Amino acid sequence: MKLYSDPRLLSLGVIHGTTDRDMGNMRLAESTHTLFDRLGINEENILRFKQVHSDTLIAACSLEEVKKIQSSPLAEADGWVLKGQGFGAAILTADCVPLVLWDEKAEVVGLSHCGWRGVAANLPAKTVSEMKKLGAQGKISAWAGPHIQSCCFEVQADVAEQFPESVIKKEGKLFVDLSKAITRQLLAVGLASQDIQLPHLCTCGDKLKFFSYRRDHTKDALLTFVYRP
């Protein structure tokens, strides 16, 4: 089983990662069941929402809040901020950036589904802000799972104009570097450059390892999750 993860966060006891293509389409219940069974995680304690490319965040600070969220209709949102143990959250991606953030001791953890609309709406920075409201202490670190890179993320002018400092022009075409745009936001809200790790793993460019909506126009998806035992 191949999970892309960050050793800094693993060292703090947070089980997390992004799946690859070999682990199956994570839109299918059987794929997620297999994943969490193999990890020994109770899937009932993994929060999900309906992703809508927004800047909406949902916070959960206890198992009681988790149960309340799960007993309500599925919320529309694109980011989680978690404080507490025994539960976690997951998001689906197929080119968008799965962004994971955590404070000094990983007592407050953020997980955001950052498509270009979410990044344009400052979702990465807003996730940090919400973490601080929940009491995040010390430095905040960031990591991202595989996502579309600037080599493949060709856009039209209306999208490019929302990322004036992250646009690359090649042969008359426009490409956006979402990692660069996210990094700029995180630096602006106080993260240090050495604490931001956004590996260059391109979902669109590597057909053998990843699903990509941009490349394949299907809804097969990877899953990124965080869980504090």
pLDDT in tens, 65-101: 999 999 999 999 999 999 999 999 999 999 999 999 9
Q: Locate 127 and state its tokens.
A: 């996730």
What percent of the chain lies above the pLDDT cut of 90?
A: 99
**Does the structure show a pLDDT above 80 at 106?**
yes
* pLDDT-derived band at 2, boundaries 50, 70, 90: confident
Residue 1 pLDDT > 80, yes or no? no
Residue 137 in this model has a pLDDT that exceeds 80: yes
Instruction: Determine the Cα–Cα distance for residues 51 and 69; give it in Å rounded to an integer.
Output: 15
Pick the CATH number of 7-147+179-228 from 3.60.140.10, 3.40.50.300, 1.10.760.10, 3.90.650.10: 3.60.140.10
Contact 145, 114 (CB under 8 A): no
Are 152 and 89 contacting, i.e. CB atoms less than 8 angstroms apart?
Answer: no
**What pLDDT sits at residue 42?**
95
| Spatial separation of the C-alpha atoms in residues 175 and 155, rounded to whole Å | 6
pLDDT by residue (tens digit) across 21-71? 999 999 999 999 999 999 999 999 999 999 999 999 999 999 999 999 999
pLDDT in tens, 185-218: 999 999 999 999 999 999 999 999 999 999 999 9
Nearest C-alpha neighbor of 59 from the set 119, 128, 134, 112:
134
